[in-house]
């Protein structure tokens, strides 16, 4: 989970970096679509992780969200 902290409506929110790791034994294909409340900052450097590989990505809440708690699955 990622916590962006408390803020006020209209505040700029700094992106948070998340690291995805493939701890399995087969390649992992990354597929991100349909995000309702959050967006990627930049592009993924890869869409496939071999076993043992990791990739970092930055996310932030979409602009103009009303105050509240938001989740994505």
Going by pLDDT thresholds of 50, 70 and 90, the confidence category of residue 1 is confident
**pTM listed for this prediction:** 0.73
Residue 9 has pLDDT above 80, yes or no: no
The whole-number average pLDDT for the span 36-63 is 90
Average pLDDT over residues 42-65: 89
When computed from its CA atoms, the radius of gyration of the chain, rounded to whole angstroms, is: 14
CA atoms within 13 A on the CB side of 22: 17
Distances (CA, A) of 5 to 8, 16, 23, 69: 10, 11, 29, 10
CA 46-56-40 angle, to 5 degrees, is 80
pLDDT in the model for residue 67: 82
């Amino acid at each position: 989970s990622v916590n962006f902290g408390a803020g006020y409506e209209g505040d700029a929110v700094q992106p948070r970096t998340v690291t995805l790791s493939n701890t399995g034994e087969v390649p992992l294909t990354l597929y991100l679509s349909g995000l309702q409340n959050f967006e990627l900052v930049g592009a993924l450097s890869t869409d496939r992780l071999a076993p043992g590989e990791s990739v970092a990505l930055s996310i932030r809440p979409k602009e103009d969200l009303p105050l509240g708690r938001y989740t994505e699955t």
